[in-house]
Amino acid sequence: MFGTTLILALRSIRRHLLRSFLTVLGIVIGVGAVVTMVTLGNATTSAVQEQISALGTNILQVRPGQGFGRGGGGPRPPDFDPADIDAIANQVAGVTAVAPQAQTTGTAIYEGANWSTTVNGTTSAYFEVQPWPLTEGRLFTPAEEQAGKAVCVIGSTVSRNLFRGGSAVGQRFRIGGISCDVIGVLSTRGQAGFGGDQDDIVLMPIKAVQRRFTGNQDIRLILVGVDEAYSTATVQDSLTDLLRERRRISGGKQDDFNIFDTKQISDTLTGTTTLLTRIVAAVAAISLLVGGIGIMNIMLVSVTERTREIGIRLAIGAVAREVLMQFLVEAVVLSCLGGLAGLLIAQLAIALLAPLMQVKWMFDAQINLIAFGISAAIGVVFGYFPARRAAGLNPIDALRHE
């Protein structure tokens, strides 16, 4: 019986292809929009998590000031000094490594090529705080760090633009009027969520940058690695107390430095993208409701048009249950076809939009199954009333219908 009913439903849909298409258009748009938005939202969340992970886990970033900028319009807070680095490493429990950074910019020149990049002075502790493998070469030696020797480890972007695919290790280039020997090349990390290309960097011993570029011992950023056995919040509190004491901040005075926990940043951004994804998906899901109402309206029209046909079926022995099943199956088939079309359109949209958004294409079987299930449920819910109306017709009145 069900097979015959399904064939009858498909024949009815085929007889009115344009009307059937317009009927399920809301379902197609709704399913396509929901699946596309949720999938791209999840891909964006995953990309954000990867970018934060690239900064390292269990890391505290310490900067002078009360945010990313100075804020307040007051004098610029003092930078950190080398004694602060030693104090953090020796007096704060749970710290695995402390990496100071002094940054500047310059134009790197090698033979006929030149490239503007960021020069980051640091120590070998930088690679302990946030491991960054090398594709070739080596890191600084303690002797090179202590002497402030002009050696450097460069990012893949700098290597590609200066050395045009050739080996960079062992080569010498000039940056800011200083000759620098390349001792290593970093592996590729790609784009960062906040700071652009992470591979566009030149790492040198911090003393070399301070002596030859900045002309002082100021430190603008400190990376603090936290032992996994310790809570980053506890270490952050201890670090805050230490820096307030060293910077002579007493009483209720506000800190003139800020500490960012990369895990907190990750959780905040992940929560934000997830919330936005749900909001957009909820808005897109409204079209599913509209599509369901469209199916109900068209099915009511179909019942009216086929009243005489229904009367004949009832007169020759069909029971009300069979008539109800016929129209209900027709509504469900319509909505399922719309759901399948919506899923196909969603995958095409994701394949086109993912590269533009610089996120990975991903197939989420769960959201696809849920969206298809909802489309089928809409056919049942909104198709039941028209089917019930058809099954409740009086055979004699239906046969008299013109």
- Rounded distance, CA 279 to CA 268, Å? 17
Could you state, in order of their start, the residue ranges of all structural domains in the chain? 2-51+267-400, 78-255
pLDDT of residue 70: 45
Q: Is the pLDDT of residue 71 over 50?
A: no
Q: In which residue are the tokens 């209900």 written? A: 328
Q: Which residues are CB-contacts of 64 (< 8 A; sequence separation ≥ 6)?
A: 76, 77, 78, 79, 80, 220, 256, 257
Confidence of residue 55 (pLDDT cuts 50, 70, 90): low
pLDDT in tens, 220-274: 899 999 988 888 889 999 999 999 999 988 877 888 899 888 777 777 777 777 7
223 forms beta bridges with 61, 99
Q: Is the pLDDT of residue 372 over 80?
A: yes
What is the signed CA dihedral for 236, 218, 128, 54, rounded to 10 degrees? 80
pLDDT in tens, 133-189: 899 999 999 899 999 899 999 999 999 999 887 889 999 999 988 899 999 999 988
pLDDT in tens, 314-331: 677 666 677 777 777 777
pLDDT averaged over the chain? 81
pLDDT in tens, 2-42: 566 667 666 766 776 677 777 778 788 888 888 888 888 88
172 forms beta bridges with 181
pLDDT in tens, 266-293: 777 777 777 877 787 777 777 777 777 7
Confidence of residue 73 (pLDDT cuts 50, 70, 90): low
